[in-house]
Every structure is written in C-alpha cells, then in structure tokens.
Structure 1
Amino acid sequence: MVGVLCDCLLLYPRRCTHGHLLQEEAVVVVNSLAEVGIDHLLEAFNDAFSDYDVPMQMDKTQLVRHMHTNGCSLDDSVGLFDEERLVGFLLVARRTTTAYDGGTGIRVAYRGQGLAHLLIDEAIKHTAKRGCTSFVLEVLDTNERAKKLYEKHGFATIRTLACHRRERPTPLREGTLKLEQQSELCLGRGECQPSWQYSEQSLKAGSYTGFAIVCNRETVGTLCLDTKRGMIAQIFIEPNQRRRGYAKEALLAAQALCESDHLSFYNVDTACLDLQGFLAAVGFHCVLTQSEMHRSLTPQARA
C-alpha cells in the first residue's frame, strides 16, 4: 500500500489483548488514505460503526457526501493497515489552521490493541506539519470510552451539543408565511456558533437548500434545510421580527417540503437557551448530546 504520511511509513507490532504478538512478522502500518478506494473505506467504515450507539451504516453515496460536506481529504486522513487490508481510519478535514476529525473507527476484530492511539497520534503530527493550530471533533456523551481516549491525547470539552427530533405534526395548516427558495445559499447571522458540520462552508458543500422566510412580501428570516432527510441546519428570524410566531410557522412550512416523516435539528449549543426553549415549545425532543472537544496544536516545519 503506497502513500506517505508524515514523510514515512510507520510500522507497529500487532498485538492481541494479552500483549502477545499474533504473528512474529505481522505488523500494522500507519499510512495515508490517499490511495485507498472508496469501496475499501466504506467496508471498513461500516464494520467499525456496526455496533455504534447511533446507527451509522452508509452506502457509497452517503459516505462520499459526508466527506465532501465536511471537507475530509483522503490525503490528510490516516489509516491502519494489516498487510493491504484497511483495519482502522481517522478521517481528517482542514480549513485554514483548524483540523477536524470527520470519523474515527477500528474494525471490530482489531479492537482492544491500542490502535486508536496510533491513529490519533499520527493525525495530530500530520496536521501540525500542515500548519494547523487546533484540532476539533465531536463525540457522543454516551461513549465515555472514546471521550477518555481523546482526553488522554490532550482534547478537552468546550461545549455540549444537543440533537433534537420532532415527528411530523398533523394536520398541517395553511399559514400566511411562505418559504421562497434562494438561488444561492445565504444564511442569517445568529447568536449561536455553529458546529463544523453546520458551518457555512459545510452547508454550501452539502445537500442543503436555503429559503427566505417571507410574510406579506417581507423577508423576516432565513431557513436552511435538507429536504430529503428533514435536517434543519439553521433557522434565523430578524431581531425586529421575533416573538411573532414566524419560526414556528416556518417549521410547519418546512415539514411540508420534506420527504421524511420527521424534522431533525442537530448540534445545537446547549448554551443557546432561547433556541433550546423554542425547540422544546414546538414539540422537539432531545435524542442525544455530544461533546465538542478541542486540542491546541503546535505547528511544525516539514522535514
């Protein structure tokens, strides 16, 4: 398997959970994913997430979309190889001086050997050599083992992100408010800082559509929505138009546009109390929370 990570191939003995070598010559190779085909990555991804707390099985289109939306690069991403078989991965995205973990996984049969530590160590070294000064990721709060793993590598929780869901309301009523599709995605500037997955750059790269929220021919806000999956990325009402029921009515209108039987609103900062309260008031319930974790990096000159 060719490809260079940090200017070298790194070889590690592959050990079982009792610390003994499985085979005297057997090694795990830490390498870039630059020359890994998407089919091989997909197989490893679905194996690694087969017992995840939240269903994460993807098809090829979904995995490609996930990587494209978040800006993940196979050249920057890290893999573990047993001979030529991909057995672990850490998907990496970079924007300016910030790196993002788009997904870390180890095949089920290779767990308990400390291999995740190798992935994280090499991803940190690699992104630091590319000039990154910070590394960010999200981890489910139910996954205490993963949180402790990242903490051992210097990551600390910065904030908690809540994921909300609301089933289709019935019946849908006709309102005075309309959603008019934007020709180009244009987001409002709200008080809540979006997570990496819902940043403007991610939304413009993804399958999201922007809508102007219009009442009596006046634009009172904006809505960003993935109509196929029923995923809301942002809802924004102009400050002078708030407390008039526009946000609630916009959600009803959004539901009518969606193919799904529900609406989801993920990665909402729990410190944004107004938004959290609004979502609860209109029937959303929190299905899970995540910790957003950051680690500072010291940029390193390439050898």
Structure 2
Amino acid sequence: MESHAEEIRIEHLQPGQLDALIDAQNEIFEDYIIRIRSSRQFFLDFMSSVGGNLQSVLMALDGDRIVGYINPVADRTEGWIGGIGIRREYRGRRIGTRLMNEAERELAAKGVREVSLEVIDGNTRAEELYRRLGYHPTRKYLTAEGIPSRFQGFGIEPMPATLPEVVSLHSRCYADTCWQRRKADAVVQSAKGSEMYKVDGGFVIVRNVETSGFILFLGVVLEKRRRGIGTSLAKFALSRLHDLGAFKTALYNVNEDEATMRMLDMFDFKVTMKQTEMRKSL
C-alpha cells in the first residue's frame, strides 16, 4: 500500500541505525548525477571533516524503513546542509521540503542565522526546491582533474609541516571559500594519511591512493598572493604526486575565480564538475 506524505515520520538518527542509513544512501544516490557509494567509515570520516555529529542527522521513516535523510551541521551562527536525499519512489511527496524545514528549525534553535548548501550544476530538481525555500546562489565551486608531472625547480622549496602549522596557515588562507574547505575539522581529517608541506605564507596537503593523487588543500595567505607562491606549491604538489606513482590528480571544491582558472589552464587541468553555493538567512 502506498504511504501518504503525512504518514512519513521525521526522527533523529539513533545509534543502531547507522548501517541502515548507509544502505539507504547507497540506494538514494544510485541515479544521482555522480554516483556515490558510501560506507560506515566513509560517512564517519565525512562527518568528522565537516564538524558534524550523528545526533543531528534527521531521517524520514516509512514504518521502520529509512526513505530519506538530511545532515544539518551547526557552527555558532553558521549552518550547512551536508547532504539530503530521498529514495526514488518517494520523491515528489514533499518529503525533502519537510526535511529541510525541520533541519532549518533545529539549526535556528542552536543560534544559526545563515545556512549554506551546495548543489551540483544540472541537478535542477534540487535547485528548484532550494529556491522555493528561499535560498539564493552566491558563487560556484569547481572540481578538476589533471595529470601530475615532474617539474624542475619550484621557485620556493616547500618544507615538511606539522599539523598545528598547517591549521594556523589554513585559518588565514581559506576564510573565503565553501564550508568543507574553510573549517579546521576538514584539515585535521585530511591530514590523516597525507603529506603536508609549507612555505612562508602558504601550504599544501597531498595524498596518493594507489594511482590516484589528490591535492586536498593548497592555500596562500591573502597578503602574499600574486607572488607566484601558489604556482610554486602547485608545481611541487604535482611533482610529488608524480613521484608517488599517481597517474591522475584531482582538486575538489576550489573557487571559480580568475586566479584559479589561470592555474588550472597553466597545468592543463579540466573541470569535471561545478557546484553552486546557495545561502539563506534564518
């Protein structure tokens, strides 16, 4: 028998329901623009990287079955929607609207004044929902991929960095970017299994997994930009990943601005995905 929207309950995730949530996520995102496969560890690592907690996750339940979820995250007066999804056969029943409304209500109760989220370009259904709820676009972020190469000379030779040094530099380099990039939790999580390097006024974090390389962070403090430091760090990172055996390298959630586009062109990186950041005042 088909369930009516009013029969769907909105409840918080309970400790014993995490595996069921992961299974629901994997089914929800089977037909997504970019197919996402989650796991318990992946989800826990993601929550750590964005400053979230499992107790804040809201589920839409049809009986005992998880048919949708939303992951609201609060940091003082800022809030962020770190994921929302509905099972295919339950879409079009305003369950997403109910989850968004409840998430905003709980964020406001925690003192949040503004909420942000990202939507992948081409996901028109989600973007239309957010616009109806009062969100407006603010800027775009890019994901790009390229091939690492060995460069001769970097201009400035980076040195190994400690986590406290990188966290300090990050706070000065990433103030004006998306939630997942500007929060210190993301740096701490990214440092696990990665290599960290610093120069005067900048830093870079790289990781190689089998033959895939990742430049997780590359930042230059505001007062030292336009001096070639970012280019030097990029050359070093691509050379290091080349030496580690990476066949390709990815950058995630970088700002779509003139300086970033010049650097992507310089190293022949191709944009593989765009996301629009949207915001709403509560």
Fold shared by both chains (TM-score > 0.5): yes
Structure 2 CA distance for aligned equivalents of residues 240 and 71 of structure 1? 28
Matched, 1:134 2:119: no
Structure 2 CA distance for aligned equivalents of residues 183 and 273 of structure 1? 31
User: For 1:207, what is the secondary structure of its paired residue?
Assistant: helix
> Is the contact made by 1:76 and 1:127 (CA closer than 8 Å) also made in structure 2?
no
Q: Deviations over 1:130-170 (max 9, x none)?
A: 2111111100011011001011111111111111111233x
Structure 1 CA distance for aligned equivalents of residues 56 and 180 of structure 2? 18
Query: More helix by proportion, 1 or 2?
Result: 2
Q: CA 1:173–1:36 in structure 2 vs 1: closer, same or farther (change >3 Å)?
A: same
Map of 1:154-193 to 2, 5 A cutoff?
Answer: 154-169=134-149, 172-173=150-151, 175=153, 178-184=157-163, 185-186=166-167, 187-188=169-170, 189-190=172-173, 193=176
User: For 1:37, what is the secondary structure of its paired residue?
Assistant: helix
User: For 2:84, what is the secondary structure of its paired residue?
Assistant: strand
Between the two proteins, the alignment pairs up a number of residues equal to 270
User: For 1:230, what is the secondary structure of its paired residue?
Assistant: strand
Structure 2 CA distance for aligned equivalents of residues 36 and 148 of structure 1? 34
Matched, 1:280 2:259: no
Structure 1 CA distance for aligned equivalents of residues 206 and 14 of structure 2? 32
Question: Counterpart of 2:248?
Answer: 262
Structure 2 CA distance for aligned equivalents of residues 142 and 24 of structure 1? 29
Superposed CA RMSD in Å reads: 2.7
User: For 2:108, what is the secondary structure of its paired residue?
Assistant: helix
Map of 1:41-190 to 2, 5 A cutoff?
Answer: 41-169=21-149, 172-173=150-151, 175=153, 178-184=157-163, 185-186=166-167, 187-188=169-170, 189-190=172-173
Q: CA 1:89–1:196 in structure 2 vs 1: closer, same or farther (change >3 Å)?
A: same
Structure 2 CA distance for aligned equivalents of residues 54 and 196 of structure 1? 20
User: For 1:94, what is the secondary structure of its paired residue?
Assistant: strand
Letter in 1 for 2:159: E
Question: Counterpart of 1:222?
Answer: 203
> Is the contact made by 2:117 and 2:278 (CA closer than 8 Å) also made in structure 1?
yes
Structure 2 CA distance for aligned equivalents of residues 161 and 277 of structure 1? 15
Structure 1 position 39, deviation (Å): 0.6
Matched, 1:250 2:226: no
> Is the contact made by 1:233 and 1:266 (CA closer than 8 Å) also made in structure 2?
yes
Structure 1 CA distance for aligned equivalents of residues 125 and 225 of structure 2? 45
Q: Deviations over 1:226-284 (max 9, x none)?
A: 443633233235728823752342232342365653221122222x3112211211111
Q: Which moved more, 1:180-189 or 1:281-290?
A: 180-189
* Structure 2 segments unaligned to the other structure (5+ residues): none
Question: Counterpart of 1:28?
Answer: 8
Structure 1 position 49, deviation (Å): 0.7
Q: Deviations over 1:19-40 (max 9, x none)?
A: xx82689821111114452211
> Is the contact made by 1:101 and 1:135 (CA closer than 8 Å) also made in structure 2?
yes
Q: TM-score when scaled to structure 1? A: 0.79
Structure 1 CA distance for aligned equivalents of residues 30 and 136 of structure 2? 27
User: For 2:30, what is the secondary structure of its paired residue?
Assistant: coil
Percentage of matched positions with identical amino acids: 23
Question: Counterpart of 1:207?
Answer: 190
User: Which structure has the greater CA radius of gyration?
Assistant: 1
* Structure 1 segments unaligned to the other structure (5+ residues): 1-20, 298-303
Structure 1 position 65, deviation (Å): 0.9
Structure 1 position 197, deviation (Å): 0.9
